[in-house]
Structure 1
Amino acid sequence: MTLLEEIKEANRSFLAGSPLQLAEGDRFVVLTCIDPRLTGFLEPALGLSRHRALVVRTAGNQVSDSCNDGLRSIAAAVYVKGGKEILVVGHSDCAMSRFSATDVIESFRKAGVPRSAFGDGDLRAWFAAFHDVKANVIRSVEYLRKCGMFPANFKIHGLMLDSQNGKLEVVRDGDSIKTESVVSDQLVATPSPARTPGPVSSSVQAGALAPEPPPLPAPATKGAATTAGGRPGALKIMANPASMMDAARSHKEREKSLRHNGRT
């Protein structure tokens, strides 16, 4: 039974009124929200046992380039504490999906903190607010899968928990996601598609490869025969009698010239 199957079974037992804890096994990481309604509720709803679950909590159970405060803790949970899988657990009615910049600014003022303390940018971006709780879980899962800190075959799941009744929904099943091949940033040459031989066009565009002409019968040639590619070697085309006589005559004249040069 996979970890995800164990958790789904524990959740069914919880909903039936008989909470179960997961059996002993490998440790795993849970990234969830800071919402206080989850405290003491998340654990029995998922069957989390004391010595297996490494729980990391961030506002909105988020992790991204602009909101990576939980990434260091997740990495520590995996590489220091030995977590073998990651579960991103969002929940219904998350306050970060109902974020109001006006309300937050009012909270600043009541606390005596100026708006400028949070910079000049958009407060929604600063707090990493979102609208869709499920889409937010999926974004966090995809970020963790692609950030490069975890192996390509590392299982990362996305779950949604109903804050009222504790019912669990799987929105990303890490067991069923096939690992993708890692593609190098370097350009990889791919073979050109096969071309049908034909006559060479008289107007070939600049830079384009002309199609290979069909092989033609080779005419009789003078001199030594050549192999394919023009290199001396085994006979491929036999010279005709006339060409053989010419070659012999040329050879004799060459020897005569060499002897004459040797005497001088």
Structure 2
Amino acid sequence: MSELNEILAHNREFVASKAYEAFEAGKYPERKLAILSCMDTRMVELLPAALGLRNGDVKMIKSAGALVMHPWGAVMRSLLVAVFELGVEEIMVVAHFDCGMRGLNAPEFLEKAREQGIPDERIDTLRNAGIDLNAWLTGFDDVETSVRHTVNTIRNHPLMPKHIAVHGLVIDPHTGGLSLVEEDVNEAQESAA
């Protein structure tokens, strides 16, 4: 049985037994928080548990490496929607040690694409269209520097209100221990304290 068929079978039982009732929550995050985290499989349950989060507490956005690669891409748009449409007042970027984006290398990545049947002509078409595949497919060397860069991109986005606090953290994918990289203490937070 394929993964899809197993998931669909499980889902029918999940709905029939009303197991969903344990997860009922509103669409607005109770803690007025959005978290940008990595898509790493180790973060699926560990991250919410390590942060003490429950269903309905936050808006969770996942991206390889917890990166905002483009200020006008889907990740940044999701963060802005969370702020303007869903009541988010604070954003946390939570990357992790031992990330697959660390050391991602464009030539090696493109070789893997070729091995999966992507022809050189298609890669050349992308390059000829002005897409810098080397920049787009390059990861980072240091996770803390990467977090600082992403936090800076979010904070300085022309549509991000200045009163929205943006923090940066790194989580240990084995223990769940957090390391604070960037804490945003802005005027709105200071006056509330």
Does TM-score exceed 0.5, indicating one fold?
yes
The whole-number CA distance in structure 2 between the counterparts of 1:150 and 1:73 is 12
**Is residue 2:50 matched to residue 1:45?**
yes
The aligned residue for residue 229 of structure 1 is: none
Alignment partner of 2:93: what SS? strand
Matches for 1:27-176 after TM superposition, within 5 Å: 27-65=32-70, 68-118=73-123, 119-120=126-127, 122-175=132-185
Shift of 1:101: 2.8
Alignment partner of 1:29: what SS? strand
- Two-structure CA RMSD over aligned residues (Å): 2.2
Could you list the per-position Cα deviations for residues 33-76 of structure 1 after superposition, in whole angstroms to 9, with x for gaps in the alignment?
11112111111011112111100011111114468330111111
Q: How high is the sequence identity, in percent, across the aligned residues?
A: 31
Higher helix share: 2
Letter in 1 for 2:49: P
Matches for 1:228-247 after TM superposition, within 5 Å: none
Tell whether the 8 Å contact from 1:62 to 1:68 is kept in structure 2 after alignment: no
- Inter-CA distance 109–67: structure 2 relative to 1 (3 Å threshold): farther
Letter in 2 for 1:47: G
The whole-number CA distance in structure 1 between the counterparts of 2:63 and 2:138 is 11
- Inter-CA distance 49–110: structure 2 relative to 1 (3 Å threshold): same
Shift of 1:150: 1.9
The aligned residue for residue 250 of structure 1 is: none
Letter in 1 for 2:101: M
Alignment partner of 1:166: what SS? coil
Unaligned ranges ≥5, structure 2: 1-28, 189-193
Relative contact order higher in (CA < 8 Å, ≥ 6 apart): 2
Tell whether the 8 Å contact from 1:108 to 1:115 is kept in structure 2 after alignment: no
Q: Larger Cα Rg: Structure 1 or Structure 2?
A: 1
Tell whether the 8 Å contact from 2:103 to 2:138 is kept in structure 1 after alignment: no
Could you list the per-position Cα deviations for residues 153-187 of structure 1 after superposition, in whole angstroms to 9, with x for gaps in the alignment?
21110010011211101110112x568xxxxxxxx
Unaligned ranges ≥5, structure 1: 1-23, 180-264
- Inter-CA distance 127–69: structure 2 relative to 1 (3 Å threshold): farther
Tell whether the 8 Å contact from 1:27 to 1:51 is kept in structure 2 after alignment: no
Alignment partner of 2:45: what SS? coil
The whole-number CA distance in structure 1 between the counterparts of 2:43 and 2:83 is 23
- Inter-CA distance 161–116: structure 2 relative to 1 (3 Å threshold): farther
Could you list the per-position Cα deviations for residues 196-224 of structure 1 after superposition, in whole angstroms to 9, with x for gaps in the alignment?
xxxxxxxxxxxxxxxxxxxxxxxxxxxxx
The whole-number CA distance in structure 1 between the counterparts of 2:141 and 2:121 is 25
Aligned residues between the structures: 155
Matches for 1:189-204 after TM superposition, within 5 Å: none
The whole-number CA distance in structure 2 between the counterparts of 1:55 and 1:115 is 36
The whole-number CA distance in structure 2 between the counterparts of 1:141 and 1:51 is 24
The whole-number CA distance in structure 1 between the counterparts of 2:69 and 2:157 is 9
- Inter-CA distance 103–146: structure 2 relative to 1 (3 Å threshold): same
